[in-house]
Chains A and B, each alone.
Chain A
């Protein structure tokens, strides 16, 4: 019995590979480097709703039926988030990051993977309350057009407003949250003035290029859906898109530290995963000519140097302690 299941799992992995390859070749959407476990859940969910017995049956449908593919694409890509999710992140933006942006003439912010827009409106409200909205441009992008359409409309279920209001208050909101939307039947329609400086556009983090000279990139809870290789590619994109000293904001459980681009960033608000792109010159390995005259360094030499440095450090510490004992006031 166990053997059957392990074979079934192996077969499913193969079908999954074929499905993702087919979608990429036919429609250009590339899910091949997404984290498989979540993708698997979403695909299984669609299979059970649409009544498919195997992934293979669904491959056929996805290739031949564009309408079905659109539905399936929404399954794979839309993440529903909250307004002011992780309220403490927004407190940090307001208290620690925005004061540093105040000096700028114009503020360019890229919200990458904005999905249905909840976070974009949260950001707009915050910028408005801190008097920065009028000199800001927010680029809100997603590769899913139906999600982007929803984001542009800015109409949310009224039942969620209670939770959003509470989040807003915990996030240090200074106005009445009800001033930011109009309630109509079972909908909350976000205020037009919040949309004025938002540019919604289609952009795919996996296959599209950089956005130039951003002062801040916000991309929260998107990278957790990607595998390590794809995460690295996206960090490259962000690093190229940010201006020197620009801020990168990730989700609470995401980090730049495990990527190849870790040394390009300093921690600004550690717990909230807000980083600042630094201006340290990088050693570009491709520029070192293999014929150039670099003496190979022996391990013995390195070990000897390390010993000298460590001895010097110990002596320095002794000296500091001595100075401290003579002059304890300093």
Chain B
């Protein structure tokens, strides 16, 4: 058994419903942080994390520049910024050009997270109507991390899960409920390994 240190999630069209559902199934004592890029429309000023708070026990917040990443917390990328992870497990933001027509881009988060966490990272691609995240998920998998994709048949928009599945040999293709179960199981494994 391996100790996982973080979960990164990439999600686009259909994301609000999927994330609300996924987060409502998770307990508030996860042994790792969950870091999410949700594609948003340009110039949305509202804090997307506010929309997710209802129905979840987890601490959900927008990621701040140079903030220390804590276990059990859910972090959402702010709109119109890329979200990156430094080796010392803090966040950095950037306004670099869009990647895959997106800012925040899933690939940018996943690739930098893979550098920071190596094999101890879980990458998850959920519903979406483009192909952002598939390169990032491939990198996570190549470095020994765990690659998980929402079952395209259960996703509101299937093209992003399908792109991820065709880009890399993923470990699990699951509906949301089973992704939640998997996250809980891996989090419990961590706790067992620590004790």
| Residues on A facing B (Cβ under 8 Å) | 1-2, 5-6, 9, 13, 35-38, 40-42, 79-81, 86-88, 167, 170, 221, 223-225, 227-228, 231, 251-255, 258
CA distance A6 to B117 in the complex (A): 10
| Residues on B facing A (Cβ under 8 Å) | 43, 45, 64-66, 78, 81-82, 84-87, 92-97, 108, 111-112, 115-116, 118-119, 142-144
Distance of A35 from chain B, by nearest CB (Å)? 4
Contact between A35 and B142, CB atoms less than 8 A apart: no
Of A6, A37, A41, the contact of B86 (CB 8 Å cutoff)? A37
CA distance A6 to B87 in the complex (A): 12
20 contacts between A and B (CB under 8 A): A2-B143, A2-B144, A5-B144, A35-B66, A35-B92, A36-B86, A37-B86, A37-B112, A38-B84, A38-B92, A38-B96, A40-B112, A41-B112, A80-B97, A223-B65, A224-B93, A224-B95, A227-B66, A228-B66, A252-B78
Contacts of A223 in B (CB 8 A): 65
Contact between B87 and A13, CB atoms less than 8 A apart: yes
Distance of B6 from chain A, by nearest CB (Å)? 14
Q: With A80-B97, A253-B78 known to touch, is A37 a contact of B64 (CB < 8 Å)? A: no
Closest to B86 in A: A37
CA distance A225 to B96 in the complex (A): 10
Q: With A1-B144, A2-B118 known to touch, is A38 a contact of B94 (CB < 8 Å)? A: yes
Contact between B115 and A9, CB atoms less than 8 A apart: yes
Contacts of B97 in A (CB 8 A): 80
CA distance A41 to B108 in the complex (A): 8
Contact between B87 and A36, CB atoms less than 8 A apart: yes
Contacts of B93 in A (CB 8 A): 224, 253
Closest to B99 in A: A41
Contact between A2 and B65, CB atoms less than 8 A apart: no
Contact between B95 and A221, CB atoms less than 8 A apart: yes
User: A-B pairs with the 7 shortest C-beta distances?
Assistant: A2-B144, A37-B84, A35-B92, A2-B119, A37-B112, A38-B94, A5-B143
CA distance A225 to B78 in the complex (A): 16
CA distance A252 to B116 in the complex (A): 26
CA distance A36 to B85 in the complex (A): 9
Contacts of A231 in B (CB 8 A): 66
Contact between B96 and A79, CB atoms less than 8 A apart: yes
Contacts of B111 in A (CB 8 A): 41
Closest to A37 in B: B84
Distance of A156 from chain B, by nearest CB (Å)? 15
CA distance A170 to B84 in the complex (A): 29
Distance of A254 from chain B, by nearest CB (Å)? 6
Contact between A41 and B66, CB atoms less than 8 A apart: no
Distance of B159 from chain A, by nearest CB (Å)? 25
Closest to B82 in A: A38
Closest to A36 in B: B86
Contact between B95 and A9, CB atoms less than 8 A apart: no
Contact between B66 and A258, CB atoms less than 8 A apart: yes
Distance of A91 from chain B, by nearest CB (Å)? 11
Contacts of B112 in A (CB 8 A): 37, 40-41
Contacts of A37 in B (CB 8 A): 84-86, 92, 112, 115-116
Most A CB atoms within 10 A — which of B81, B82, B94?
A: B94
Contact between A40 and B115, CB atoms less than 8 A apart: yes
Instruction: Given A35-B92, A79-B95, A227-B66, output 10 extra A-B contacts at Cβ < 8 Å.
Output: A35-B66, A37-B84, A37-B115, A38-B84, A41-B112, A86-B45, A88-B45, A225-B92, A228-B66, A251-B95
Distance of A290 from chain B, by nearest CB (Å)? 34
CA distance A276 to B87 in the complex (A): 34
CA distance A252 to B96 in the complex (A): 15
Distance of A138 from chain B, by nearest CB (Å)? 21
Contact between A42 and B96, CB atoms less than 8 A apart: yes
Contact between A5 and B119, CB atoms less than 8 A apart: yes
Distance of A275 from chain B, by nearest CB (Å)? 16
